[in-house]
Structure formats: C-alpha cells, structure tokens
Amino acid sequence: MGITGSAATHASVIDMIVNAGMITKAALLMLGFFSVVAWGIMIAKMIGYGRARDDSAAFLQIFSKHRSLDDIYNAAKRIKGCPMARVFMAGYVEFESEFRVVSSEEKTGDSRFFLGKIDGIARSLERAVSHEVTLLERNLFFLATTGATSPFIGLFGTVWGIMEAFRAIGLSGAANIAVVAPGIAEALIATAAGLVTAIPAVIGYNYFSHRVKVFETEMDNFSLDFLSLIEKNFVKRT
C-alpha cells in the first residue's frame, strides 16, 4: 500500500510537470539549469578547498622545519595547489629583488639589510593574498545569484500558472474544487522547485564564504610570520 501510494504520488508529480503551461515549464527548465550548475560548483569547491587545506598544512610543516628560504621556495614550487605557498613565493621573489647587501657590509660578512626595504615585501604579500582570495571566491557569485533569484523564478512560474488556471476556469464556466485544484497544484510545482534550488545554494554560499575567510585569515597570519622571520634574520634598524 505504501509503495503503491508513493509511486502514484511520484507519477502525479510528473504528470503535473508534463501538463503545466509553457511559462511554468520554462521556469522549471531554468531552475533545473541553475540547480545543476550550482551543485557542480559546490562539488568542485568542496574538492578544491579540501585539497588547498591539505596542501597548506603540508607547506606550513615545510616552512617550520626548513631554515633556508631557498629550500622553502624550491619546496613551495612543487606544491601547485596551495594558496599559501603561492603567497610565500610572491613574497620571496620580492625579497630577492629588493634586498641587496650593502657593499660596505659585504666586506665584513654582515648579511643583514636595512629595515625600510621590508615595506615592499609586505605590499607584495598583501597583493598575493588578495589575488588568492579572488581565486578562491571564483564562481561563488553564482551560488548567491541562484539563492537570491530561484524563489522568484519559481514564484513567477506559479503566478503565471495560477493565472492560466483561472483563465481556463473562466472559459469553462465551472468553479468547483475538482476543476480548480489540478491547475493550482501544477502551478505550485514551480514554487517548490524554486525553493529546492535556492536552499542548497544559499547554504553552500554561506559555507564556502566562511571557508574563504578562514583561508584569508591563515594567509594573513602566515604573511605576518614570514615578515617577522625576514625582519629577525635579514633586517637591521638604522
């Protein structure tokens, strides 16, 4: 009895979709597109963010164990999917280009530098962090758009379907519940589809936005640690 009732309900939902008007079907088709793309983005982000988290943990271990910045840089180049490693490489390149041993200090073997040069590295790290955050946020706007617009698309399909149902009632001249109910039910399918599309997208957007903020905080903290390391070992106050 339960299985038969479930099958009948499933069949009736399909029948309502098949019998819906063209505008309602167009709304359902659009919602289907939004849903498929949104789920694809969420799955890709879940995999990508998980890999970035693991790579960042591996890079931090390398950074904490190695003493030489050259060794860290060579190891970072092998970790291609790590935003934190790319931030380090950007700072390291700036470090190599800006820091020069003062000629008088080269003769004495002093390998320290002047403090003023560290500002360029700080700016380079900030730009790298901003760039990585932009990459991490890529396509999240689609989730926000899906969550914001899908209920309205569904509502539009429902309103249009109800208008068509009442128009058909007016033409037929019959206003009993048996005539009204099927048209209203078909129209409400669009609203249900809009909510089914929007709710996962909103949850996904909020979750992944939080993950991006965590990545950004970790990269900012790493940048400060990197600058502290440089200031401690390569900079002297004048």
Written as tens digits, the pLDDT of the chain (238 aa) is 444 555 444 446 676 666 666 777 888 899 999 999 999 999 999 999 999 999 999 999 988 887 788 888 988 988 878 999 999 999 998 888 776 544 344 444 455 555 556 788 899 999 999 999 999 999 999 999 999 999 999 998 888 877 777 776 676 666 656 556 666 777 788 888 999 999 999 999 999 999 999 999 999 999 999 998 888 877 766 5
pLDDT at 136: 95
Where b means 16+ CB within 10 Å and e means fewer, 150-176 reads bbebbebbbbbbbebbeeeeeeeeeee
Cα 139 to Cα 54, 123, 204, 205, distances in angstroms: 22, 27, 12, 10
pLDDT at 48: 94
For the entire predicted model, the pTM comes to: 0.79
- Nearest CA to 220 out of 117, 140, 127 is that of 127
At 96, the amino acid letter reads E
Alpha helix positions (H), the chain: 2-19, 22-65, 69-78, 83-98, 103-108, 118-136, 140-172, 177-234
Helix axes 22-65, 177-234, angle to 10 degrees: 20
pLDDT at 102: 41
- Nearest CA to 142 out of 229, 35, 25, 232 is that of 35
Q: Which two tokens stand for residue 51?
A: 């890999």
Map residue 235 onto helix, strand or coil.
strand
